Amino acid sequence: MIAPVVDANFLAAHPEAVVADVRWYLDGRDGYAAFEAGHLPGARWVDLETALAAHDQPATEGRHPLPSPQSFAAAMGRLGIGDRTPVVAYDDTGGLTAGRLVTMLRMLGRDAAVLNGGLSVWAADGNEVAYGPADPWEPDTFTAQPWPADRLASADEAAAHAAAGGAVIDARAHERFTGAQALVDPRPGHIPGARNAPWSAVLAPDGRLKTAEALRAHYAALGADAGDTIAYCGSGVSACMNVLAMEHAGLTPPRLYVASWSGWSADADRPAEQGDPFTAASE
């Protein structure tokens, strides 16, 4: 399997790779409009809402449940992604949304990686940017596979793991983690015992991922370097940055709690913790 993070040199050496633009915005901006306003040459826009999520699940499954294996396979096939097609995904936030597609593909053993730094770094390095609609492509056949249970965690598993002192890391911004800002969440706060690991903390100032050494130190400080970690966020999207960053650092990728806080907080029987007890205890 290819590395989880690659650069422009990889694309130059692998013209057979499908370049996937996975721009999606929590504030409701139009990802496809952003694509037409500038994208990597040959890229195909991936609609996170329709290709990478289901919308027929109860609220406790969160805002972006995984699609059925059959639906995901059909979406990939329509994008021209076959069983042996390498995929390089990007966005304009360093991997915040592109990481969702890459994590889903890598869970299935497929070759997929995030473009380090995304569109911003690509353009800043002087690479060509294309405009308007995508170039035409041919569909392919992507064989449906079950989502691997060992790469996923349920709400009960996340609760038990955190209660036992295991590392459960929340990729949301600190103000959402503490409950100071509820934003789109049904209730403020976080899973009791979870630790805040904002997705943005894995990026260096230039927008690329931090070095493997820096990432190992980051996760060690969170107690998330011992093997069994569960990652979540608001709806199972930004948590994928922690999944990929940990693998990039040479650590065991965490299990993904896909429903995340949007699913957890939709269940009135599940408790919500506020503040940041882990940080307070570390001071």
Active-site annotation, residues: 233
Tokens 């038990």, located at residue: 160
The pair of three-digit structure tokens given for residue 22, joined into one six-digit string: 């996975």
DSSP collapsed to 3 states, 4-21:
CEECHHHHHHCCCCEEEE
The pair of three-digit structure tokens given for residue 183, joined into one six-digit string: 């934003």
Are the beta carbons of 266 and 186 closer than 8 angstroms? yes
**CA–CA dist 136, 138 (Å, integer):** 7
